[in-house]
Every structure is written in structure tokens, then in C-alpha cells.
Structure 1
Amino acid sequence: MEYTEEIVHIDELDKKILQLITKNARIPFLEVARECGVSGAAIHQRVQRLLNIGIVSGSEFIVNPNKLGFNTCAYLGIFLEKANYDKKVVEQLKEIPEVVECHFTTGAWAIFIKVQAKSNRHLKKIIDTDLQAIDGIARTETFISLDQVFKRQIPIS
């Protein structure tokens, strides 16, 4: 069984709406309507449709980890003892609050995670105490981010 994501085609109005709401998730629908030259009700219906078909999912406030004292960002490649441990390991990774992203990958690692820690010492504790205690993890490889230069969404065009 092959997994493929269904590609959804959208029109120019949907693209314009996406450009506006991805720049500012708090933009009022009436302002989006003015920019697009349609009614507020039309924008509401379009955004609801985009949510329903899965092009966008919700909206969120982004917490700045540094402002809360989480000053170390690290990426860890995880080597598994056996490939079939992947789901069991991921379930245990979900229990570590500092693990903020988790990806299955190709290449050297089976899993790649992003960790937000308060310090290098805190990161070491997470690795030594939390990660290495998970059955199925053979070893990890750590990369500390010095600074996030930019982060963006895919272009809407």
C-alpha cells in the first residue's frame, strides 16, 4: 500500500487569502475581505473550506522559548537498536516536554528531534536521563543551534 498525500488545487482568491492569513493569523476577516474585494461572509466560508480540506490547520500563538529561559535549541539524530522500535520510541519521546518536534527520517538516523532546553547542562540531563533511558534508542548525535536565522512557511503562489 503506497501512501500519497492528495494535492488540493486552489484558486487565486484562496491563494490571496492564504498569503494574508499566514502573514498575520489575527487579521480580521473584514480586512481580508477588503484586500480581496469580496464580502466578509465569503472570506469566512473560504477559510472554513481551507480548514476542512486540510490546507490550513487552526491558528496559534508562537511562544518565544528564550523569553521563558529555554536558551538552548538542539537537534538530535536518534539511532535505534532495531527499526521496528520506531513507534514505541516515539510514544516515549512524546512524554518529554522539551522535545518539541519529532520526524522519521531517511539516512543515518531513524528519528530526528528538536529539543528546547534551558541550558547546555539541562540539555545534557535530557540526553543522559530522559533519552538514553528509552528502550530502543542505541545512541544519539547532537547538534546545537547557535541561532535561528529565519523560519518561514512555504510560498503561496
Structure 2
Amino acid sequence: MNHLDDFDIQILKQLEADGRMAYSAIATELGVSNTMVHQRITRLMDQGILTGIKPVLDEKKLGYDWGAFTGISLEKDHDSKRIIEELHKIPEVTECYYITGNYTLYLKIIAKDHEHMRQLLYEKIDSIAGIAKTETIIELGCAFRRNIVL
């Protein structure tokens, strides 16, 4: 397990509030040197705790009004690597998880409208060899999404 001290946690909180925040501003806020902030962020990235600083896109404002969650059953679970590689080629599949239960994989899919969603499900996803069955639930909006509280 990676040990986070108070400075690491404060740096992560600053970045979560504003991922564009300059290291110098974080240093000033925390009363430490720019070098220390840079070293800590580099270490957090090297440890895989901080996996990147990326923009959070509002899919609806980009024209993707439909979202869905799809459970996928495979004909053979050992085909999962190949099937995941095929799913990864579909840009509208934004998340893919291994899960337990009735499905092997669980996807988050976004689409511009119902016709686009139909094409994704029936023409792209269902046509991947090795997929036995899919079950899709349309999402009606995200109540909230957040990182784990530090």
C-alpha cells in the first residue's frame, strides 16, 4: 500500500478542485516549495495514485444526449481480452469493467440519439464475435459522480 501523508492529500485536494492549478499556486497555498510539489506529484503519478490530470467533458453539451449501461455475456470468458480490444475501438464505449454475476463485462456507452444508440448496440457491439448476449439499461442522467474522499 502506498502511504499518503498530509501534504500528498492536500496536493491531491488542490488538483481535484482545479486540475489546471499551477504547481507554484499549490506550493504557495500549502506553504512549501515548488520543487516539493513537483516531486510529490511525480511520485504520486509514478505510484499510480494520480493517473493523470484530464478535463472532465460534459457529454450532453457535446451532443451526446443518450447514455446506457450494458452488461455483456461472453460465449467463452477466455475471449475477454480480444473482445475488450474490439470494444476499445468504439469511441462511444467510455468505460468497461470486469464484473461478477450474470455478465462478464459491463459498459458505459454514450450516443447522440436513439438511432445512434441502436447502431452502437446492434451493429457494432452485438456484431463482435464471441458476445453471447447483451442487456442494456438506458440512463436518465447522472445524479453525481465523484472521486473517493481523501
| TM-score bin, normalised by smaller chain | over 0.9
Aligned to 2:134: 140
Determine if the alignment matches structure 1 residue 68 to structure 2 residue 73: no
Percent identity between the two aligned chains: 37
Give structure 1 regions of 4+ aligned residues with deviation exceeding 6 angstroms: none
TM-score (norm 1): 0.91
1:26 to 20, 28, 42: 20
Q: Which moved more, 1:33-42 or 1:110-119?
A: 33-42
| Cα RMSD, aligned residues only | 1.1
Gaps of 5+ in 2: none
Residues in 2 aligned to 1:44 and 1:132: alpha-carbon distance in whole angstroms: 46
Q: How far off its partner does 1:53 sit?
A: 1.5
Alignment of 1:106-121 (within 5 A): 106-121=100-115
Q: Distance in 1 between matches of 2:41 and 2:138?
A: 38
Corresponding residue of 1:154: 148
Q: Report the equivalent of 1:101.
A: 95
1:8 aligned residue: 2
Q: Distance in 1 between matches of 2:31 and 2:62?
A: 41
| Cα displacement (A) at 1:17 | 0.8
Size of the aligned set, in residue pairs, is: 150
How far apart are the structure 1 equivalents of 2:51 and 2:108? Answer: 21
Post-superposition Cα deviations, 1:102-131, rounded to whole Å, max 9, x if no partner, equal 111111100001101011221111111011
Give per-residue Cα distances to partners, 1:51-103, cap 9 Å, x unaligned.
11211022111222112211101010001112212112111111111111111
Q: Determine the structure 2 residue equivalent to 1:35.
A: 29
Gaps of 5+ in 1: 1-6
Matched residue of 2:135: which SS? Answer: strand
Q: TM-score, normalised by structure 2?
A: 0.95
